[in-house]
Chain A
Amino acid sequence: MHTVIWSAKARVVIGPDQPVVIIGERINPTGRPRLAAAIMAGDMAPLQSEALRQARAGAAVLDVNVGVAGIDEPAALAAAVRAVGEVCDTPLCLDSASPLALEAALAAYPGKALVNSVNGEEAKLREVLPLVARYKAAVVALTMDGRGVPKDADSRLAIAERILDEAARLGIPAEDVVLDPLAMSVAADDSAGLTVLTAMQAIRDRLGVNQTVGAGNVSFGLPERPAVGAVFLAMAVLRGCTCPITDPTVWDLRRALLVSDLLLGRDEYAMGFIGAYRQHEEEI
């Protein structure tokens, strides 16, 4: 199954027979006070430089989140979408908890975006899916609901099925729903890695849709975080993750995905890996 999204000038195909698509996570002010201050002040230059840095490091899609407390988020997200589009052709993933901000960003975006995100909560389904349908966008669907993130893989699969049903009812095809089975901290719960990987495999085998996952949570509270994230990403790719949300400027993470593609026969003559290696050697 292919999820296809595009900007005004570039198109990205996400699918199990394609190289992994990295969704760059760095345009996000959470825990980054300087970026938050710039966004609050309407200064889009730091966002633009993050966009370029990540695109250069192999991000094929860029997540854009401007969630700063007290901001006019619809206006800010729309402005950020335009600002990133000025410097970079990479298709965007519009990231907000606010349906109003998502709508403003969708209206400002010249292409088919990925919307981040919906989940199994009634209110979310009601507020976000109609927007996705109206703008013919694609959407990230988190396998959680009003009761939180289920501790077991079967319940996450059940939520995934419910969201896909609801999407289909509104005319959103399964290929435009990208599931996120939610990686949690293994420091706090040492079964969290196995749970998300099991859910991922079940979603791949039973539903066949594309999947994303964030690698950041997994390594929280542990030493050697890039190594933990890298191994997790490699395992996730094998279980059906086709478009992880991660930081491609961290070489360990990017390298894990490049090598995964190579080992799974998605990198002809290893050109992707070798090219990225050479670029990395020059930059360090």
Chain B
Amino acid sequence: MADLQALREAIIKGRRAEVPGLVQAALEQGANPQTLINGHMIEAMKEVGRRFEQKQIFVPEMMIAARAMQAGLEVLKPLMEQAGHAALSLGTVVMGTVFGDLHDIGKNLVILMLESSGFKVVNLGENVPAAGFVEAAREHQAQLVGLSSLLTTGDPYVKATVAAIKQSELAGQVKILCGGAALTPRFVLQECGADGYAPDAVAAVRLAKELLDLA
């Protein structure tokens, strides 16, 4: 039997160089790619999230774990695609920092965690106008839109972006998740009418799954 425990440990500890070899070894011993991802690797990332939320690990440790996970997914992606499955099958997220705001660190951290948790993420970058979110969600048939806002001056743009999505034909089809230092749950949920507020990257992953009924 393949050493799945070693694979899990290598992801949790962020040992990026070891992960592709361990994935390859598991495949050679007959492991199913889909089971590897959903049954083992994503479970390892869940454990990373749990440790982060309990403050046992810190941001850089979470990042190297996510990168180790991605190194493993790179090995599996071509196999999944050959078999006609998307490697990242939980759903598609379009994600950006709102208009007038150039902060990218928090958003990119959330993207890294979403991708390594099984989502396909389209990164819209920073300074994204409301229409940019709507168009991208439409084009990529996203199930979830993620908004990042770090400036108090960004509040009107968060509100306008949520409103633009809700006024489009996407209303009811996509969920909207917001986060960033400038935002409060009350503003996001009550005043803007978004579906979720995430205080950090791990919460963003958990909420994304809850909102899409994947939890």
Contacts and interface: CB of A to CB of B under 8 A. Distances in A.
Same complex origin of A and B: yes
A126 to B, nearest CB: 16
**Which size class do B's interface residues fall under?**
20 to 34
Contacts of B105: 184-185, 188-189, 220
A275 interface: no
B5 interface: no
B102 interface: yes
B155 A69 contact: yes
Interface string B107-123: 01100000000000000
B58 A221 contact: yes
Given A30-B181, A31-B181, A222-B60, A188 B151 contact: no
Contacts of A191: none
Contacts of B58: 187, 221-223
B104 A30 contact: no
Interface in A138-195: 144, 146-149, 184-185, 187-190
Given A190-B60, A221-B58, A68 B104 contact: no
B60 A98 contact: no
B187 A69 contact: yes
Interface of A: 29-31, 33, 67-70, 97-98, 144, 146-149, 184-185, 187-190, 220-223
A148 B126 contact: yes
5 contacts: A29-B152, A69-B152, A70-B155, A97-B153, A222-B58
B60 A221 contact: yes
Given A33-B184, A148-B104, A220-B105, 7 more contacts: A69-B155, A188-B59, A188-B60, A188-B105, A189-B105, A222-B60, A223-B58
B102 A149 contact: yes
Nearest to A33: B184
B102 A144 contact: yes
A220 B102 CA distance: 17
Closest 4 CB pairs of A and B: A221-B59, A67-B152, A69-B155, A187-B59
Nearest to B156: A69
Majority DSSP secondary structure for residues of B touching A: helix
Contact of B59 (A148, A184, A220): A220
A188 B63 contact: yes
Contacts, number: 52
B182 interface: yes
Nearest to B109: A188
Nearest to A121: B102
Contacts of A29: 152
Nearest to B102: A148
A221 B52 CA distance: 10
Contacts of A188: 59-60, 63, 105, 108-109
Interface string B69-112: 00000000000000000000000000000000010110011000
Contacts of B181: 30-31
Contacts of A70: 155
A177 to B, nearest CB: 21
A69 B105 CA distance: 22
A105 to B, nearest CB: 15
Contacts of A187: 58-60, 63
Given A69-B155, A148-B102, A30 B60 contact: no
Given A97-B151, A187-B58, A30 B182 contact: yes
Given A185-B105, A188-B108, A222 B152 contact: no
B134 to A, nearest CB: 22
